Structure 1
Amino acid sequence: MMRKLFYLIAAFAVMLTQNVNAEGLSDYRMSVGDLIKIQVYGEDELSTEVRLSDAGTISYPFFGELQVLGMTTGGLSGLLTERLKDGYLVDPSVSVSVLEYREFFIDGAVKQPGGYAYQPGLTLQRAVSLAGGFSERASSSKFFVVREGSGSNKPSKISLTAPIQPGDVITIEESFF
């Protein structure tokens, strides 16, 4: 019972701290495939839901195609606020949120390898559960991840409690004994 409570508290702590910087703002960097919602309060025609293109851009009224790859939701909100102030609206209030994160991928010794929808607070253990659990030959300690945008395609060893990010490629090795 206490062990389950510990895991529940640890998972909740990860969920609260993931992707939040010291100012309490999200430091999640948007990338290709994310679906975002832009809300301009009182201006329905400027509010939209849009998926980042394969070039990391979005199309937005008045401004056309905007490069948003790698931006945070707060950064995009600030950019749109400033640009809308410049001759379009007197005091715009812009909110940007991520509706759907891009997938993460899991392969190797799991029952259902493939791409899965990312959820904030996701750990390797939860990712394995989404993939149907470990196969009967799965290693109990050889788990690797390649992080999207890390600049390296070299797999890093991780633990079951490690946080998973959108775009991650996870490999669960097989055990021979």
Structure 2
Amino acid sequence: MVLYRKLIPVPFGVALAFVLATVLAIMPAQCDASDYIIGEGDVLKIMVYGHSDLTTVERVSGNGMINFPLLGQLSIAGLAVSEISIRISSLLADGYIVDPQVSVFIEEFRSQKAVIMGEVMKPGLYKLKGRTSFLELVSMAGGLTRDAGDTALVKRKSRRAKGEEEIATIDLVRLIKEGDTSLDVPVLEGDSIYVAKAGLIFVTGEVKRPDAYKYEDNTSIIKAITMAGGFTDKASAGRVKIIRKVDGKEQIVDNVNMDDPVLSGDVIVIPESFF
């Protein structure tokens, strides 16, 4: 018996990919580089309001240093643009200038890299040039696959504890379908991004649209059957069973209650009536 077909009528990933293309088309360019992490090769223009003699353009050296008037050599690699501004302001305020207003601009970006894996069309290592957002990296990777789920994970080096990593979760439904661009986080040097696969449930047998459907929390058996178009005239509604994997082994669950919740990966089988 064939339990499910591979083709999904309206895959969640396809819907997200379509909306993603629309979002990228209408989204304004991201110009704010305040959270960009500076590294070797970046060229910075630093200005101090009211002190044009201190304006300087410097390329970050291999050891992460720049030279700044009055202050000499400064180590700035690994700092965000906003942090560099604060640091220089603090140093200038210590005996040089009263209440200095420092602005830092990136004249030239170095090439950075990040990895994106999982349910994207072209997973792999990508070069970043300038400020690159999550959605832009997904677009660089060819967009989402038809099997993409509603979650992405971003793993990056912690800036608070050396040697440790931080993991953030991105809700793709809120970001892409609902347009909450606050979740379109910048991608940083060394980030690893994983787009999860959608959980599926399978409804087969005597239903009008036997197929695979996206799993959602609190989906009941009867809701899954409704998603599949409901029972056919030949269905034996009282003999519904579930094939479920437990610890890697398939188990058959019968005598089910229609209000029981299903689990991701469940196969709901509706047999034909004997009469």
Partners of 2:128 and 2:59 in 1: how far apart? 20
Q: Choose from 135, 151, 159 the match for 1:125.
A: 135
Partners of 2:95 and 2:111 in 1: how far apart? 28
| C-alpha deviation, 1:95, in angstroms | 3.0
Partners of 2:71 and 2:94 in 1: how far apart? 8
Structure 1 segments, 4+ long, off by >6 Å, are 90-93
Within the alignment, does 1:164 sit opposite 2:174 as a pair?
no
Aligned residues: 156
- Whether contact under 8 Å (1:77, 1:94) holds in the other structure is yes
| C-alpha deviation, 1:77, in angstroms | 4.2
Within the alignment, does 1:75 sit opposite 2:58 as a pair?
no
Q: Which residue type is aligned with residue 131 of structure 1?
A: A
1:28-177 aligned within 5 A: 28=35, 30-33=37-40, 34-39=42-47, 41-43=51-53, 47-51=56-60, 53-54=62-63, 56-61=64-69, 63-68=71-76, 69-70=78-79, 72-79=83-90, 81-82=92-93, 85=96, 94-99=102-107, 100=109, 103=112, 105-109=114-118, 110=120, 111=122, 113-114=124-125, 115-119=127-131, 122=133, 124-134=134-144, 136=145, 139-150=148-159, 151=161, 152-160=164-172, 161=175, 162=183, 163-167=185-189, 168-173=191-196
CA RMSD of aligned residues (A): 4.4
Q: Secondary structure at the match of 2:128?
A: strand
| C-alpha deviation, 1:145, in angstroms | 0.5
Partners of 1:48 and 1:60 in 2: how far apart? 9
For normalisation by structure 1, the TM-score amounts to 0.58
Partners of 1:149 and 1:158 in 2: how far apart? 17
| C-alpha deviation, 1:106, in angstroms | 2.9
Instruction: Pick closer, same or farther for the CA change 1:70–1:172 going to 2, 3 Å.
Output: same
State, as a whole percentage, how many aligned pairs show the same letter: 21
Q: Which residue type is aligned with residue 144 of structure 1?
A: L
Greater CA radius of gyration, 1 or 2? Answer: 2
For normalisation by structure 2, the TM-score amounts to 0.41
Structure 2: 5+ residue stretches without partners? 1-18, 176-182, 201-275
- Whether contact under 8 Å (1:73, 1:98) holds in the other structure is no
Structure 1: 5+ residue stretches without partners? 20-25
